[in-house]
Every structure is written in structure tokens, then in C-alpha cells.
Amino acid sequence: MDINTHPCFNADVRHTTGRIHLAVAPRCNVQCNFCNRKFDCANESRPGVTTSILKPIDAVDYLEKTIQRVPNIAVVGIAGPGDPFANPKETMQTLELTHERFPDQLLCVSSNGLSISEYIPRLAELKVSHVTITVNAVDPVIGAQIYEWIHFEGKTYSGLEGATLLLERQTEAIKRLKEHGITVKINSVVIPRVNEYHIQDIARYTSELGADIQNCIPLIPVAGTPFGVLHEPTASNMRMVRAKTSVYIKQMSHCSRCRADAVGLLNADINASESAIQNNKVTISFAEKPFIAVATADGKRINQHLGQAANLLIYQLKDGQVELRENRPTSLRHKSDRWNDIADILSDCAILLVNGIGQTPLRVLTNRGVVVESVSGNITEIAGILYAGKPMPDNYLRLSGSCGAGVNCSGNGVNTSGCLN
């Protein structure tokens, strides 16, 4: 195994060896103010975006097929779309299976560092050779401006408390990774007006911890996020940042800001439509969760925004037919408490079908392990498709996470074209 064939850590091989990211980690334990993780956007090239979420066994099957088509794949990575260690079961199972079936492939993961530490010894045993830790601040005052919240061991932190906790965990993670002989790259998002002049402090701090290389990434302003109104740093700005940070640590300057399902050479990714992942494939299992929850205004069609749903209809498959099982009232509490309440009442449902859903409830429900799909159409027809294990037709699919921006919605809940903002 030649660890120098990793194209992100060695610029000399980026034109000859490629990588594949397996998107098995949808949940995240940190909410950054520049991040909007859309799982169904095939036309955006930025971190946190993927066409579909894969189960570990499906991911390794997909890897096998991809290696047959793209023989220069040297690295298998997990980079989201959430954080790998907010999804430890899926992440570790994928790494275990990949190591077993493809022992000569380099393995790497990219994490925010909050929850990776306890898994580092096993990562080393699996010969995970490269780990990226994203560090955007080493001053909690600055970090508090970047992170909306940090969720750790069942509790949510924000402000200085959250930023301090994250930095402590990142510091421990980098130290432990180096103790286990793992090459460490530091990703730092350069955010104008926030941490642009703090990046060299990050470089100095992480270099002293033993980090090997730093990747300074210009902010991609994403509409609908708190930092969406900022501008992207210019090439000149980035040259200046890297000149100052290079005094402390080696710099990576060829980053292509990969998607969570990237495949191929850097800056020459295989188009998602050519890959084995399809954006209309919802992978769900009814073995342990036999029911389907639906937001509907008339009991016939999936035509209601989750925020407008005072109750959810629960369907089951009985004697080969989709039938209504019960009507479950939803919580009337406000903000994120309501979404957690809904997650609780859907613990036996394999999927929640809505006509629209905002960013906040989508994020909360996804973090709680609830599969959500935005669709429009007849309930029994769509439920029948899901129970049959068939892919959802494109004409039924709608965009999740955009309506109302997860804050307020003025829609009437019965307009099948979506909620009015």
C-alpha cells in the first residue's frame, strides 16, 4: 500500500489517481452557518451535497462496480454528507467491509473531529491512512460566530460553550490520530469578515499538534444560510492566506471542494448520472419499521407541508394491500421541540412522506434517523411503490429543505404545487 497515491495529500498524483466518496453518513452533529446539506441536488459541486444516501453493504457493492469502470481509483473515503462519526455504525461498517474486500485501497475519512476520538484505535487497525479534520477556529469567540450548535452525547451546545467544546474535541482528535501514525489534513473554510485573518492562527495551532498539511478552502456562499450573503474570497485573497499559513504548515492548493459522492480524478469527476447512485432511489427497510407516515390534507394525496400538519396518517401493508392504520396527532409545540416530538412518534415508521419541509425540521428529523421524502401524488400509489421496493418516479419527487427555510410558512397546506412563502 503506497500512502503517497492519495491525490488530496499529494498534488503530484492528482492527474493519475482518483478517489471515491461513499455517501453513507447523512446525519451531522455540528451545524455550521455556511452549510446547507441537500441530498438531492445533482448539479452542485460542494461539500455536503450528494445525490443519494447509501447503506454500507450497498456502498461497497457500488465501490466494486466503480473500480471495474474506473481502475485508477486509489482512495476510498467517507466525507458525509453529514459527519462520519455522527453516523458511527454506518461509517465503521463501511470501512470494515471495504477493508475486508479491498485491502489494497487507501482508506480515509473527513470529520469535524467532535466524535471521532473513541474510534481512532480501530481506524488505525483498519489501516485508515488519512484523516481530515475541519478546523475553522481555534478561538472560541470566532468559533461561536461560525457554529449555530454542537450536539454531543445527547446535549446541544451553542455560543462560546459549543465552540469551546468543539475545539477541545478537535485538539484531542488530532493528537490521538498522530499517536496512531495517521496522516492528518486540516480543512479550514476561509470566511470573509469572520475568520479570514484567523486562518494563520489555525495553521500554527494545528501544526504544533502534529498536523501534516492544511487545506484552506474559500467559502462557498449558499443561499438560505447565515453566511449566504457573504462573498467568496478571491484568488488573490486565497494566495495571501496560503502565503501566511505556509510559514507554519504545508499547504494544499489544488482542492476541488468535493461532493460527498465524488468519483474520479480531482476536477474531473464522473457525472452523477453516470454513476450507480440514482437520485430517485430511497433506500428504506420495512423489516423493523413496517409503517409509512404521510402528511395529507384530504386523506387521498400527499399534499401537505409538514409545518401545517396537525396530524399524520399512518399506513401499513396488509395482505398485499396498502391500508390506513391510524391517525397520529403531531405536537403543537414550537421550533425544534416540535420536530423532536414528531421524530418520537415516528419511531416505528420507515419513512415520512410530505409535500414540503423546511431546512430545520429536515435537519432535526434526519439527525434523529427519520427518512423524509418530499413528494406529490396519490398516497396508496406512492406507498405501494415503496412497499414493492421500487424506485420513486421522478415526476413525484419534490425538493426537500427549501420551503419556508425551516422558519415560518404561510402556505395553506393543500396546494400540491407547494407551500407558499
Question: Which tens digits make up the pLDDT trace of 268-293?
Answer: 444 443 343 333 445 688 988 999 99
CB 111 within 8 A of CB 74: no
Is the C-alpha dihedral spanning 133, 23, 219, 169 positive or negative? negative
**Residue-level pLDDT at 46:** 47
**Residue-level pLDDT at 45:** 46
Write out the three cell numbers for 357. 419541509
**Residue-level pLDDT at 117:** 94
Low-confidence ranges of the chain (pLDDT < 50): 15, 39-46, 48, 256, 265-281, 402-421
Extents of the domains making up the chain: 3-274, 291-406
Domain 291-406 has CATH 1.10.3720.10: no
Write out the three cell numbers for 4. 503517497
**Residue-level pLDDT at 101:** 87
- Nearest-CA neighbor of 101 among 66, 53, 64, 59? 64
End-to-end CA, the chain: 54
Fill in the DSSP letter of residue 397.
B
Helix residue ranges, H only, 227-357: 235-245, 335-345
Pick the CATH number of 3-274 from 3.20.20.70, 3.30.70.100, 3.10.20.30, 3.30.420.270: 3.20.20.70
**Residue-level pLDDT at 231:** 86
